[in-house]
Structure 1
């Protein structure tokens, strides 16, 4: 039996519902469900065809445009093309000294030279810097014929690792270093599958029905299949890093399931209110569908903010992720109603003995607006926050600030092989180089000089002497000139490691003092490059542009929320709390990167620097996702406010009515992001940790505690907006017109 419990000031149901564009689209796809499903299958086929014909390769340039390191990199690529390829370091340690193991070393190098894509091998016994002073360690270099590590086949890198492992016996140990080797050791862990499995369990626990739980997963997977296939076409047009697909996958699975979860919940409510499957589908898209569009738009706006950073790899990652979000949004408003055409009548079939949700033969009380009455537990929590609104606001704010505090001590930089797991060959090679040659051997600097045509090495004698005399420099290799004599490169070995502050200070000293003085009055220009220099320049560049990203994303998101909810307070509050939520996530990431017992929980056992682009990426993603939950929560509150004019009741009902959905959606998103924490890739691991923590914090401390507490404190000011602004902004009616879709109440 269905009992309708009208809310205060509820208007009688309209005889002709005011159906918006999404509702009309839902009606079309519901009635033409077969054609809609076929259209999605054809879209997947077209995407596969385009990917086969025009697919590109991942590539990313992490250097800062116009920086000293970027100029060094460009000059090196143009004037020294033979040195532009990737390299692999072969590090050998022999307890009795490497000179006595010369034949064994040459045998290993000969085997490695036979591996495909190995174009050359250096002879460490002919290189003055090839053997350590104590004679126990040597390093040789394999030159590959691929420019980027991602272009090196995993199988070939694995073959090199097998050769090194087979040669390591007793007191003779061989280890390999280099990005292509690290890529082979990382492998794949199937994070997407773990995330989907966790999401399926959460959905089953929430709905108790296989059909209802399966719908969000089908919609998310369909959108992900099309978008991930098209990604290969996109990367032929823009530069994008290889981890951008993982980010897009996280977003696609997470928001795809979240959006469909919201709409499945709303559909079941409309069915419980007495609507037939088609009318319930139309009402769902005309109400919850609007919230989905606004939420998805905020995510897209946040990702567009990455364009303000002026970095090609950021733009590429943004484009790939936006593509995934847009296709998932399209699936939510077309494929989802089409599937309801087949499964709407059977939404509660294949029930599991997991307790009751709604329906299932039990009496259901439907409140005003077509919503099912919230549970007593959520009503109790909502009233508790109301009674202790001041304490809730203070505790919530203090908790966020405490979590954010560790970020004040974060170290920026790029993780290197020294942060890999101890059992990996790259980590062993890193440690052996540091022990045998000093820590600076793992982060050599490259001095790339532009010379007048026809110059010889003597043109750089003054530079070499000045750099050698600089405190913190261990060695300077002789200059190597290109064939035309208009460029040269010198390798500088610092006394400290690539992640040490002293190495950064040395680079700044060389750039600001030593090199300008050594080249004064001449025609020689010298640029400092290398991984350490690139990291410094990238951090400085991103720090300089970060205010543009934050300001642009916050401003555009606030304008969207003002238009959606016709309120200044809601928009300002959302921006401030989302910033606090992101700051708390930054603090969690910084705490994990410190290593110790917290870091060891996620597989980080050394003090690890944070790549400067990761906080930027996290901000763009998390600000958008946080806005999703804000839209879900506040749209229900505004619906209650418009119906009753009672701020307290609107907040109580909004929190109690959406608490279950928001926490379930957040649990799914946390599970999806947490599935990337076991990744051996430190960047993916850190992104997974940060985003999982942020979503958990946002859905608990912020949405379930801080937002309602502050809105109770603000009172009717929550819904105030100047008349002049109201006239100039479009009214989006994000909550729709649910009263139009309600059937007339029947006496019980």
Structure 2
């Protein structure tokens, strides 16, 4: 089809912002006190409601159809006393054997067994009374373990506590009850530490306030340098803060009904702060330009919301669509983390469209009164019919214009340079190993890390991640059950990667057999992952072959391996869904298949590069200790999927902002090369400032004590940095220059079926 450049220059010039966004911006600016008061009221109400009625966060999830879930369900039906979540209470006395405090141990075991949600407690002293039961009439507990739970020197032991739910879901008020139960042991001089889910409950909460403060401090500096005005710097920060607090409050209320991962509030805060500042920044930039062009404060705010506000809506919808696309994983745990982040994105968009114009209306023309330097205009030169424009002064063009002209002259050099940088950063990606980070990587001050080290020293590292083999023999005739038991026991003997296995014994109602297999390696190691897969794929099927029995590997470590395998298998589907939806949005906005394809491919390249950085830092250990990570760790299984959805969505902020100006110049002049150079010239400063702010917000979370939060923070910071520099300032201008007029080619049949959207909502 012909290259339709749309409206004529005169029509474009005379066009006035219309529709709901313009009216929203105008009304908000005119009734600024009402809007500001309403937001502050919502802020106070959301915080109060969250504190009064908000739910809790936990990493409790189910994996229907997996071996770990089938085995856990089998135990729940036939042997509830050995089912459920398992936590450990590790005891250590450096002076005397624990048998010297037998009465205190017995008392602690009985007290733990009486706690709510406790199914059973296994006494670590083998010669004491039988294991305590959490409720009257419970079936027999787990079989004796040949690996403990009392060390050879008698100074270290661990009590296995089985819960009917994840202890993390019980809230912080549950931990004092556990502390009170073991108080007699601590009074006797015994070191008591908590491991497993019980240890996670005792972890100190991530220091999000410190991370947010650091991110805010850097953002203030960047905004002051970039815009030269104290008030101009304060508007994005205030708006983002209000939007995040409201969003997290809403998330807390929703968590009363739905279970969200413990990292969800931190993730929502990171994303909310980043996009909230960016969206307000885009509106503020356009508003200040309108003021410099002579418009009144109310008209300038209305125009900003009708134009850049439309880009904010498009960008926000793209981010939300990408986050909702995580539901394609089929894992509610992942989908709900995406939903948690989407809540703060929605509040950020709402704040940008209403609170920002209200603040701008309140400030009026005083936006640049308190200066730290002379402010500059957003558009130093308006493109004319040739696309080059005339310098208007006030900081016009300068270095960015010269840079844009260099890109225009040598696009192949810039394209090659950008691709080379991404290729080098992507190399470590080919060594990517997904897994679950175990307690051994936590800071030494955490109780679960101390419990991990005590168990490792006394029993071996594999005891920190035992595997439970469950055999359903309900369909096996009574005469054949003894042979089945011997067959399973033989199969579990000498399994590569296993330190050993306990005797296979019936538990509960006798319909299931149970054995504990102890890995030879740490829970997070690749060897343990291989062991779980070996048991599920070969050892157990052979052990029950020729019988009606079914065998499963379950337990926390097995569930984590199944979760990893499930996420790895669903990642390509999530990528396809998110890329496809984003492709359609870009196609609808800019009416160019090549533009949409370019956006998808370049975003995939930048995300691959950020994955490579994560592998190098955490998996290879290049800088991990400096970040507070003990040793090398795998990349947490769900981090790449979460990063992809978040980064792909966030990258559209800069994509829409830059391409909308390219498209605007193309419609006005028909000069493809000149429109690219002009768009780069007028957006580079804003994109750079926005990216520096978002990078600082994300990077500040590296100081968190939660390793997954560190990983997400670093990964997102690197992704935004790569996207805003290598991609947005090198690759996009180079590719758009090379594509020329072909970038805006649209087949007639496709133009008729794709909805017409607008990047900046011109009439």
Give the alignment's TM-score, normalised by structure 1.
0.88
CA distance in 2 between partners of 1:381 and 1:407 (Å): 32
Q: What SS does the aligned partner of 1:605 have?
A: coil
Equivalent residue runs for 1:561-640 within 5 Å: 561-640=586-665
Aligned with 2:471 (options 449, 472, 495): 449
Q: CA deviation at 1:24?
A: 2.0
Aligned: 1:357 with 2:356:
no
**647-656 or 73-82, which moves further after superposition?**
73-82
Q: Report the equivalent of 2:38.
A: 39
Equivalent residue runs for 1:644-655 within 5 Å: 644-655=669-680
Give the alignment's TM-score, normalised by structure 2.
0.86
CA distance in 2 between partners of 1:319 and 1:303 (Å): 7
Q: What SS does the aligned partner of 2:468 have?
A: strand
Q: CA deviation at 1:718?
A: 1.8
Aligned: 1:177 with 2:195:
yes
Deviation digits for residues 322-363 of structure 1, max 9, x if unmatched? Answer: 222112112211222222221132211332x3x22238xxx9
Q: Report the equivalent of 1:387.
A: 409
When residues 77 and 52 of structure 1 are mapped into structure 2, their CA distance, relative to the original with a 3 A threshold, is farther
CA distance in 2 between partners of 1:18 and 1:67 (Å): 55
**314-323 or 9-18, which moves further after superposition?**
9-18
Equivalent residue runs for 1:239-388 within 5 Å: 239-351=259-371, 353=372, 355-358=373-376, 367=382, 374-388=396-410
Aligned: 1:401 with 2:423:
yes
When residues 39 and 77 of structure 1 are mapped into structure 2, their CA distance, relative to the original with a 3 A threshold, is farther
Is the contact made by 2:206 and 2:706 (CA closer than 8 Å) also made in structure 1?
Answer: no
Deviation digits for residues 510-551 of structure 1, max 9, x if unmatched? Answer: 223332233234343221112332233222222222222111
Is the contact made by 1:198 and 1:668 (CA closer than 8 Å) also made in structure 2?
Answer: yes
When residues 422 and 167 of structure 1 are mapped into structure 2, their CA distance, relative to the original with a 3 A threshold, is farther
Aligned with 2:536 (options 489, 511, 531): 511
Q: What SS does the aligned partner of 1:601 have?
A: helix
Q: Report the equivalent of 1:122.
A: 122
Q: What SS does the aligned partner of 2:295 have?
A: coil
Q: CA deviation at 1:692?
A: 0.5
Q: CA deviation at 1:451?
A: 3.6
CA distance in 2 between partners of 1:266 and 1:595 (Å): 44
Aligned: 1:494 with 2:491:
no
Q: CA deviation at 1:405?
A: 0.9
Is the contact made by 2:429 and 2:615 (CA closer than 8 Å) also made in structure 1?
Answer: yes
When residues 113 and 211 of structure 1 are mapped into structure 2, their CA distance, relative to the original with a 3 A threshold, is farther
Aligned: 1:656 with 2:693:
no
**216-225 or 692-701, which moves further after superposition?**
216-225
Q: What SS does the aligned partner of 1:241 have?
A: coil
When residues 448 and 272 of structure 1 are mapped into structure 2, their CA distance, relative to the original with a 3 A threshold, is same
Q: Report the equivalent of 2:704.
A: 679
Aligned: 1:22 with 2:40:
no
CA distance in 2 between partners of 1:364 and 1:638 (Å): 15
Aligned: 1:199 with 2:198:
no
Is the contact made by 1:228 and 1:324 (CA closer than 8 Å) also made in structure 2?
Answer: yes
CA distance in 2 between partners of 1:405 and 1:341 (Å): 50
Q: Report the equivalent of 2:166.
A: 148
Deviation digits for residues 403-456 of structure 1, max 9, x if unmatched? Answer: 011111122110101212244443333233233322321221111233429999
Equivalent residue runs for 1:100-119 within 5 Å: 100-104=97-101, 107=104, 110=107, 117=115
Q: CA deviation at 1:114?
A: 5.8
Structure 2 unaligned spans of 5+: 1-7, 127-143
Q: What SS does the aligned partner of 1:520 have?
A: coil
When residues 74 and 203 of structure 1 are mapped into structure 2, their CA distance, relative to the original with a 3 A threshold, is farther
Is the contact made by 2:33 and 2:362 (CA closer than 8 Å) also made in structure 1?
Answer: no
CA distance in 2 between partners of 1:547 and 1:513 (Å): 27
Q: What SS does the aligned partner of 1:526 have?
A: strand
When residues 703 and 167 of structure 1 are mapped into structure 2, their CA distance, relative to the original with a 3 A threshold, is farther
CA distance in 1 between partners of 2:36 and 2:505 (Å): 62
Q: Report the equivalent of 2:141.
A: none
**417-426 or 303-312, which moves further after superposition?**
417-426
Q: CA deviation at 1:105?
A: 6.8
Q: CA deviation at 1:262?
A: 0.8
Q: Report the equivalent of 1:721.
A: 746
Q: CA deviation at 1:83?
A: 4.1
CA distance in 1 between partners of 2:622 and 2:185 (Å): 31
Q: Report the equivalent of 2:228.
A: 208
Deviation digits for residues 595-633 of structure 1, max 9, x if unmatched? Answer: 534222322231201222110110000000111111111
Q: Report the equivalent of 2:240.
A: 220
CA distance in 2 between partners of 1:28 and 1:302 (Å): 31
Q: What SS does the aligned partner of 1:347 have?
A: helix
* Structure 1 ranges of 4+ moved more than 6 A: 161-169, 369-373, 453-457
Q: CA deviation at 1:693?
A: 0.5
Q: What SS does the aligned partner of 1:677 have?
A: helix
Structure 1 unaligned spans of 5+: 1-8, 741-748
CA distance in 1 between partners of 2:505 and 2:253 (Å): 40
How many residues of Structure 1 are paired with residues of Structure 2 in the alignment?
721
Q: CA deviation at 1:480?
A: 5.8
CA distance in 2 between partners of 1:454 and 1:569 (Å): 62
Is the contact made by 1:244 and 1:321 (CA closer than 8 Å) also made in structure 2?
Answer: yes
Q: CA deviation at 1:380?
A: 2.0
Q: What SS does the aligned partner of 1:528 have?
A: strand
CA distance in 2 between partners of 1:164 and 1:726 (Å): 76
**686-695 or 639-648, which moves further after superposition?**
639-648
Is the contact made by 1:602 and 1:677 (CA closer than 8 Å) also made in structure 2?
Answer: yes
Is the contact made by 1:566 and 1:726 (CA closer than 8 Å) also made in structure 2?
Answer: yes
When residues 687 and 145 of structure 1 are mapped into structure 2, their CA distance, relative to the original with a 3 A threshold, is same
